[in-house]
Amino acid sequence: MSPGPVRVAVAGCTGSIGTQTLEVVAAEPDRYRVVALGASGRDVDRLVDQARAVRPELVAVQDGRHADRLGAELPPGTALEVGDASLALLGAVGDVCVNGVVGFAGLRVTLATLEAGRRLALANKESLIAGGPVVQRSRRTPGAELVPVDSEHGAIHQCLRGADRLGPRRVARLVLTASGGPFRGRRRAELERVGVDDALAHPTWRMGPKITVDSSTLMNKGLEVIEAHELFGAPAGDAGCGIGFDAIDVVVHPQSIVHSMVEFTDGATIAQLSQPDMRLPIGYALAHPDRLGTPFGRMDWSTAAHLDFEPPDHEAFPCLRLAYDAGRLGGTAPAWLNAANEVAVDAFLGGRLRWIEIPEVLKRALDRHDGTPADSVEAVVDVDRRGREAAQRLIEART
Ligand code: MG
């Protein structure tokens, strides 16, 4: 890395991950400097405020509608780039790019960062889930490094530290924790009439609407199972621990204090604990292999705490099994399911689909996946488009 502060690019800067990344950087200004901001361009007020605060070299927006206003209000010395391809410019600007873009749109940022041989602090799980095989290729670029920001995978990354010095196959299981979302404990029949406000009332995490709905259906956890397989499924010593889908478990843990665990072959389990605060995994991904000097989410052990664990209810939350199915199918099946899910969640948020219908649409959509291999970015983009169309048709056909 270059001398002086670590240069940080933030893609998806106006969203939840982006704003919390700026808080982490602001906490350690001698160590980190934000050099580029990228956003969809819809939340212009926030983007202008952020740019005036951090004075980046570059601001990139996908949506050009407010380009004139941005051109007038950005600080002097900040270049403006506009258009769908502009976010990918962030990959090569800094030493590290935090990818907090929402949904499949984050794939280009992921690929651009890895192909530039930089560190990718990845919060955009969809790019890894949908683009898995092509992202794996770009991870092999010299200098490229992927450190997960997703709290569960950040936890596993921490629990696995040192595991590469063990013999092969000494990791027995990865255990992802799930808060269970706002509907934990409800039976299927009690979920017939839940609405958008119910689904967005997450008990422990503050996040954007897409991931909060995914959390309510447990699709978020399903996608994270695929993400864990992509991140840690490679053979031991090759940035992975050789783990398959049968050795990735999910346990519901409503307090969101244990962020995930690794079980070793001798029966020992190592876990990472903290309050639910995304600034900790963001800071971990920036500082790795060092750690931040600023605590985020530290535990106060002087107050009584209960840690509860229970198995997921697959009948009430069928999306979790659907994700395992897609992950085991491999190829472009995860991309297809992810695309269908983005459409279904959008339809739910727009009042065009009931919550209980989301897994029904996704099950039928996954049945229509045609087994296209994921051998190029273009193939993945095409599968994403067709998966969206298939879900859209299924949603329209039921009304
Ligand atoms: Mg997560």
What mean pLDDT is predicted for residues 248-275?
Answer: 96
Q: Where are the alpha helices (DSSP H) in the chain?
A: 16-27, 44-54, 67-73, 107-115, 125-130, 132-139, 151-159, 196-199, 209-217, 219-232, 279-287, 319-329, 333-349, 358-367, 377-397
Tell me if 84 is assigned to some domain. Answer: yes
Same domain, 162 and 140: no
Same domain, 174 and 128: no
Looking at residue 237, what is its pLDDT?
57
Ligand 1 mean position, distance from CA 70 (Å) = 33
Tell me if 374 is assigned to some domain. Answer: no
Lowest mean pLDDT among 64-73, 119-128, 198-207, 333-342: 198-207
Q: Which domain holds residue 139?
A: 6-148
In a 3-state reduction of DSSP, which class is residue 81? strand
Same domain, 63 and 160: no
pLDDT tens digits, 321-336 = 999 999 999 999 999 9
Categorize the per-residue pLDDT at 305 as very low, low, confident or very high, splitting at 50, 70 and 90: confident
Same domain, 66 and 171: no
Residue 84 is classified by DSSP as T
Rounded CA separation 113/130 (Å): 17
Ligand 1 mean position, distance from CA 224 (Å) = 7
Rounded CA separation 346/73 (Å): 32
Ligand 1 mean position, distance from CA 286 (Å) = 17
Tell me if 200 is assigned to some domain. Answer: no
pTM for the whole structure: 0.93
Same domain, 155 and 54: no
Ligand 1 mean position, distance from CA 176 (Å) = 9
Categorize the per-residue pLDDT at 206 as very low, low, confident or very high, splitting at 50, 70 and 90: confident
Lowest mean pLDDT among 154-158, 164-168, 170-174: 164-168
Looking at residue 242, what is its pLDDT?
83
Looking at residue 182, what is its pLDDT?
93
Categorize the per-residue pLDDT at 293 as very low, low, confident or very high, splitting at 50, 70 and 90: very high
Looking at residue 303, what is its pLDDT?
84
Cα-to-chain-centroid distance, residue 295 = 22
Same domain, 156 and 76: no
Same domain, 50 and 28: yes
Same domain, 83 and 228: no
The answer to whether 338 and 224 are in contact (CB under 8 A) is no
Same domain, 307 and 161: yes
Q: How many domains does the chain have?
A: 2
Tell me if 251 is assigned to some domain. Answer: yes
Ligand 1 mean position, distance from CA 78 (Å) = 33
What mean pLDDT is predicted for residues 113-124?
Answer: 97
Same domain, 96 and 166: no
- For the cut 90, the answer to whether the pLDDT of residue 193 exceeds it is yes
Rounded CA separation 140/273 (Å): 31
pLDDT tens digits, 22-76 = 999 999 999 999 999 999 988 999 999 999 999 999 999 999 999 999 999 999 9
Ligand 1 mean position, distance from CA 221 (Å) = 7
Ligand 1 mean position, distance from CA 398 (Å) = 31
Ligand 1 mean position, distance from CA 64 (Å) = 31
Rounded CA separation 66/79 (Å): 15
Ligand 1 mean position, distance from CA 90 (Å) = 23
Looking at residue 399, what is its pLDDT?
62
Question: Nearest 5 degrees, angle CA 94-CA 100-CA 104?
Answer: 115
